[in-house]
Chains A and B, each alone.
Chain A
Amino acid sequence: MDVIIENLPLYWEGLLRTLFLSVVSGIIALVLGTFLAAARVSPVAALRGFSTVYVEVLRNTPLTIAFFFAAIVLPRLGVTFEQFEVAAIIALSAYTSAFIAEAVRSGVNSVPVGQAEAARSIGMKFGQVLSLIILPQALRTVIPPMINILIALVKNSSVAGAFFVLELFGYGRQMANANGDQVMAVLLGVAFFYLLLTVPLGILASTVERKVAIAR
């Protein structure tokens, strides 16, 4: 276990970078996913079609493919970036947004249809009905699945370690290579630091869920 103590600064650095990747990708995914869900229920057929195809493709292909695309294909198409972190954020947020979109959509479907009818009948336009009435109620009901998706996002960010991005898992690999005799301890340390991020998320989920519940 000495190897963990000795490498605490590296673990800490990895934790912060994983946190950074997760927070930035998480925020982008939440916003993008909500827009995708809105597009999915919009009266415009083209938006519905785009959203459906996007969600189905990203939800049903491995995350690694999204990473390959962002890190290797995009630069060949002329989209270049200084750091691989950007590619990682693109891949993670694109991938995660598909799941967020599905969660939000299920939330939208859980809001009684009378809510939208009442909003329409006082003269609200589609965008207002969605943003003022439907989404605020939908988002509250989908907080638990949403947090599950964000927990998955934190863990998925480890794939970035394989694409030249140094985060918790990336540092873990470095440490394992440097301490070949203590791989087990190194990896246990990595797992522990992931838990430091994901367990509080789960606790946050149940707290928020209790706070925002809507009585009907």
Chain B
Amino acid sequence: MFARFSLMTTQVPGDSLVSLKAVNKHYGQLHVLKDINLNVRKGEVVVVIGPSGSGKSTLCRAINRLETIDDGKIAIDGKELPEEGKELAKLRADVGMVFQSFNLFAHKTILENVTLGPIKVKGMSKGQADKDAMALLERVGVGHQAPKLPAQLSGGQQQRVAIARALAMKPKVMLFDEPTSALDPEMINEVLDVMIQLAKEGMTMVVVTHEMGFARKAADRVVFMADGQIVEDSTPEEFFTNPQSNRAKDFLSKLLTH
């Protein structure tokens, strides 16, 4: 009874913030995304895991069209992704993105990194943008670094600034493309803590990661990808204790033995 009820709620149109329908992508001969269907509802935290080369990063980047797709439909809050141009830029402003390699603007200070979007894209006054940015930087624990340049910060600090930069645009959804993969082990937790906090506050998130601990703690759903396909789509509890497919069982067993 309950199962049916929850199934029905997932199908209410407008309820899904990110929707991918029959998405396909090739890199030459390589079929990297195979008929991907995925809905992310408002407030949901979806963690995408899978072996390297399974297409999970490509999937994440396709959602704000940093990767184009060959066919299928991707929509954000009911609006289909337009071609490159003004409309796409507008839509991207609503989708926060955090990269594996941080990609902070190397020639701008930490504060400027966070204020640039609100000022240049949203037309916010500098005073207001500075104030908001400082609040965000404090929130992710790097407020005292505001006047420095990105290269002067540790990787963990840079990634938290990158999260603040994305949040400054007040996005509807945040995409994380392996946000901790380029970090030294002792810095991973400071970034994950910020992400867990965000998830608790109700941010809609799509997170590509290898951090199973984060998936257990913060995910509403775990999507397991292999060879360009979504193989499993379930709750973390279900996925980690009772994976259905052999691919997932194999993947999990390798994680546990190391």
List residues of A whose CB falls within 8 A of some B CB: 43, 112, 114-115, 117-125, 128, 132-133, 136-137, 140, 214-216
Contact = CB atoms under 8 A, between A and B. Distances in A.
A215 B105 CA distance: 11
Interface in B89-126: 89-97, 99, 101, 103-107, 116-117, 120-122
Interface of B: 64, 66, 84-86, 89-97, 99, 101, 103-107, 116-117, 120-122, 149, 151-152, 162, 165-166, 169
Contacts of B151: 214-216
B99 A122 contact: no
Given A43-B84, A128-B120, A216-B151, A120 B89 contact: yes
Nearest to B66: A117
A121 B101 contact: no
A129 to B, nearest CB: 9
A215 B106 contact: yes
Contacts of B162: 118
Nearest to B168: A122
Given A121-B66, A123-B93, A215-B151, 18 more contacts: A117-B66, A118-B99, A118-B103, A118-B104, A118-B162, A121-B92, A121-B97, A122-B92, A122-B93, A122-B97, A122-B121, A122-B166, A123-B89, A123-B90, A125-B85, A125-B89, A133-B105, A214-B149
Contacts of A123: 89-94, 117, 121-122, 169
A178 B90 CA distance: 69
B121 A214 contact: no
A120 B92 contact: yes
